[in-house]
Structure 1
Amino acid sequence: MDEQQCWEIIEAARDDAGQAWDHLDERLEHTLTRHLVKLSPPEVARFAEFFRALQHRVNREDLFMAAFLIHHGCDDDGFGDFRAGLVGLGRDWYTRALQDPDVLAEHPAVRARADISALMLAGFRYAPERALEELTGEEYDGYYDSGEPVRLDDPPPQAAPVPRRLEKLAALFPRQQAYLRELYPQLTE
């Protein structure tokens, strides 16, 4: 298992889940789990390590700001779900958001202000664990660890320095921008 194979599985699950934004988390969790149970437990464990590494890569202040604006606030757990959601959007949106989080203002679910929770994927976040439980019949508190280091293909783009203002998202969510500025002035001023 490598990063490319990880993305192929995620993209296949994303394609199977369909384009609708309603109940995306449930559909993505189901389709990713369905793809993963075709693998062996060690392969699922290795997938989980890459999946976590992709989520860890987007653990940045500028992406936290985007999550805060889009979701009308954000705590640590919500930010974890948002990071999984960025992975669940697929490699193209994930890469674009890494380069510039403000690009999320162009995402169809954000623009339409449809089901904004479409970018919060709590169930999808734990699909590898569910697949391991299904394959082994055992309940786990966390992921397996293969003991091998995970090396993502490309170095992550440098995050823009903070303080920062995400102009496009701030224009879509002006009240949240004011709230973000009030709570986290070190990020915005």
Structure 2
Amino acid sequence: MDIDSFWELIGECRRQAQTPDERLAWLRDALSRRSSAEVVQFQVCLDEVTHRAFTWDLWAAADRILGGWCSDDGFCSFGLWMVGLGREAFTHAVADPDSLAVTPEIQALVSRPRDVWHDDWPGWESLDYVAMEAYGILTGVDDECGEGFYEALDAVQGDGGDNAGPLGERWDVRCENEAARRLPRLSAIFPLPL
């Protein structure tokens, strides 16, 4: 599986299923009909694209959308959710995080209290485990920790290497002037609580 095949699979998933759980089930099923090598490559591609989103500007966008505070885990989940938006929206967001403001998924959240977002919450942590689950189905090994999968992934990726922090310049999204300059649309539609 190459990066184009990866994005085609994500796009087909968006067309075939609506909720995050339905999309996961669809992806798990689709991956479990491929070879174990393709399933591992799916995870390699997922790791590559989420690494591209590991920037301070996108973290600030997530902070803004989530009310001014986004944890490390929350940001990882947000990056996975962005993958679920599809290739075009993801690519635009990496280039210009403020472009998230015009995505239908973000527009659906505007003017709604965060405590009622539920399935619309901009996070999709479980996407990071779907390849491991499909690998387990393929190999017939019921391994909750995914040791066999992660060994196969390490054989392809190595140790992952770069553990550097987010790319770019860190800035505080709670500084309204800076947020209005860097994320004007998101700042307008997601005012921070006082």
TM (norm. structure 1) is 0.77
Matched, 1:93 2:89: yes
Structure 1: gaps (5+ residues):
19-23, 151-158, 179-189
Structure 2: gaps (5+ residues):
159-166, 172-177
Take 1:133 and 1:100, find their aligned partners in 2: how far apart are those partners?
37
Take 1:93 and 1:78, find their aligned partners in 2: how far apart are those partners?
19
Percent of aligned positions with the same letter in both sequences? 31
Which of 60, 65, 72 is matched with 1:65 structurally?
60
Matched, 1:171 2:188: yes
Take 2:129 and 2:50, find their aligned partners in 1: how far apart are those partners?
12
Matched, 1:5 2:8: no
Q: Which amino acid is 2:139 matched to?
A: T
Q: Which amino acid is 1:80 matched to?
A: C
Take 2:6 and 2:104, find their aligned partners in 1: how far apart are those partners?
25
After superposition, the CA RMSD in angstroms is 2.3
Do the aligned residues in 2 keep the contact of 1:82 with 1:119 (CA within 8 Å)? yes
Match of 1:25 in 2: 20
1:1-189 alignment runs, 5 A limit: 1-18=1-18, 24-72=19-67, 73-113=69-109, 115=117, 117-138=120-141, 139=143, 140-141=146-147, 143=150, 144-145=152-153, 147-148=155-156, 161-163=169-171, 165=179, 166-175=183-192
Q: Secondary structure at the match of 2:192?
A: helix
TM (norm. structure 2) is 0.75
Give structure 1 regions of 4+ aligned residues with deviation exceeding 2 angstroms: 114-119, 141-144, 146-150, 159-165
Deviation at 1:93, TM superposition (A): 0.5
| 1:126–1:149 distance in 2 versus 1, CA, 3 Å | closer
Q: Secondary structure at the match of 2:54?
A: coil
Take 1:74 and 1:25, find their aligned partners in 2: how far apart are those partners?
20
Q: Which amino acid is 1:171 matched to?
A: A
**Deviation per CA, 1:76-118, whole angstroms, max 9, x where unpaired?**
1111111111111100100110110001111122223163744
Q: Secondary structure at the match of 1:80?
A: helix
Take 1:146 and 1:82, find their aligned partners in 2: how far apart are those partners?
24
